[in-house]
Amino acid sequence: MRLLPILAAVLSSAALHAAPLDPIPLWPEGAPGALGDKDDDKPTLTAFLPTPDKATGAAIVVCPGGGYGGLAGHEGAGYAEWLAEHGIAGIVLKYRLGSKGYRHPAMLNDAARAVRLTRAKAGEWKIDAKRVGIMGSSAGGHLASTLLTHFDAGKVDAADPVERFSSRPDLGILCYAVITMGPNTHGGSKENLLGKTPAPELVELLSNEKQVTKETPPCFIWHTWEDNAVKVENSLDFAAALRKAGVPFDLHIYQKGGHGMGLGSGRAGGEHHPWAADCLFWLKERGFAK
């Protein structure tokens, strides 16, 4: 008889997490610029959809961190599950990596395609194509901020219907993000993205604090003062650029917390860091959460 309470607990726990759909390729016929035909050469999307009773119709493409050399699961599926729990479709992007021989613009192409494909799937996934955001942590935050400042409107006459959609996210969430390729950058991310000796013009182009315009989408930005891996100046400078351009943002600098903690607080007990509640409050104001 004791099995019944145990089974109930297991089922209750499972119900808290959205089951992901099968990964889908960004380009079924192969990604442009692919270096081979291995799994690393095939960027994908994995959707974590909320239950119908919770769904808000919003979606956020999630770019995991990992220095452009790997993909951190807790900043991918971990975030997507959290989003789905709060009614937002979490769409995890597996993008191509510098550690596998790729350089800019492969990563940006993957992120842009991810937003377009999410919009193309709006009917199937029951989401609003006008409420699609992007989220990223660390180097994934750099990728997110790159798309936030380097998007396009799509090509209305493209043969591929996915390419007809805009790649402009409707909002951005940047978690202890790498923003600049200048002096305050994260060296490993820069090398994986641009190579050992990038041209100065490329460093300028991918220093996203210098690419903000009035068309850049609204952003939620958070960082910690004691982050020793990615300097807090990355977030401060991006927020300053948004302010100068007249773009709305929420900026949160917390004193405590190391780099790469995701939803965790870094303390015992497994509770979420306060940024999660602050972000949900902002998402409600933006019409993404209830």
Q: What is the pLDDT of residue 266?
A: 52
Q: What is the pLDDT of residue 161?
A: 98
Q: What is the pLDDT of residue 270?
A: 64
Residue 257 has pLDDT above 90, yes or no: no
Nearest to 118 by CA among 222, 218, 21, 36: 21
Q: What is the mean pLDDT of the chain?
A: 93
Report in angstroms the alpha-carbon separations of 175 from 172, 179, 223, 245, 271. 10, 11, 6, 21, 17
* Domain 60-285 class, CATH top level: alpha beta
Task: Give the CA radius of gyration of the chain.
Answer: 19
* Residues forming beta bridges with residue 219, ordered by sequence position: 172, 249
> In this predicted model, what pLDDT tens digit does every residue of 234-252 receive, in sequence order?
999 999 999 999 999 999 9
Nearest to 253 by CA among 281, 224, 220: 224
> In this predicted model, what pLDDT tens digit does every residue of 145-173 receive, in sequence order?
999 999 999 999 999 999 999 999 999 99
> What's the predicted TM-score (pTM) here?
0.93
Asked if 179 and 234 touch (Cβ cutoff 8 Å), the reply is yes
Q: What is the pLDDT of residue 153?
A: 98
Nearest to 138 by CA among 225, 31, 66, 71: 66
Model confidence at 142, pLDDT cuts 50, 70, 90, reads: very high
Asked if 165 and 125 touch (Cβ cutoff 8 Å), the reply is no
Nearest to 47 by CA among 83, 89, 88, 15: 89
Model confidence at 271, pLDDT cuts 50, 70, 90, reads: confident
Q: How many CA atoms lie within 13 A of 178 on its CB side?
A: 28
Task: Tell me if residue 272 falls in helix, strand or coil.
Answer: strand
> In this predicted model, what pLDDT tens digit does every residue of 57-89 receive, in sequence order?
999 999 999 999 999 999 999 999 999 999 999
CA distance 63 to 65: 7
Q: What is the pLDDT of residue 16?
A: 53
Model confidence at 1, pLDDT cuts 50, 70, 90, reads: very low
Nearest to 20 by CA among 114, 83, 63: 83
For residues 207-217, give the mean pLDDT.
98
Alpha helices in the chain (DSSP H): 3-15, 77-85, 106-120, 122-125, 139-149, 187-194, 200-205, 233-245, 274-285
Both tokens of residue 169?
């996210």
Torsion of CA 261, 137, 184, 143, to 10 degrees: 170
Which is higher by pLDDT, 3 or 179? 179
Q: What is the pLDDT of residue 224?
A: 96
Model confidence at 7, pLDDT cuts 50, 70, 90, reads: very low
> In this predicted model, what pLDDT tens digit does every residue of 31-47 receive, in sequence order?
999 999 999 999 999 99
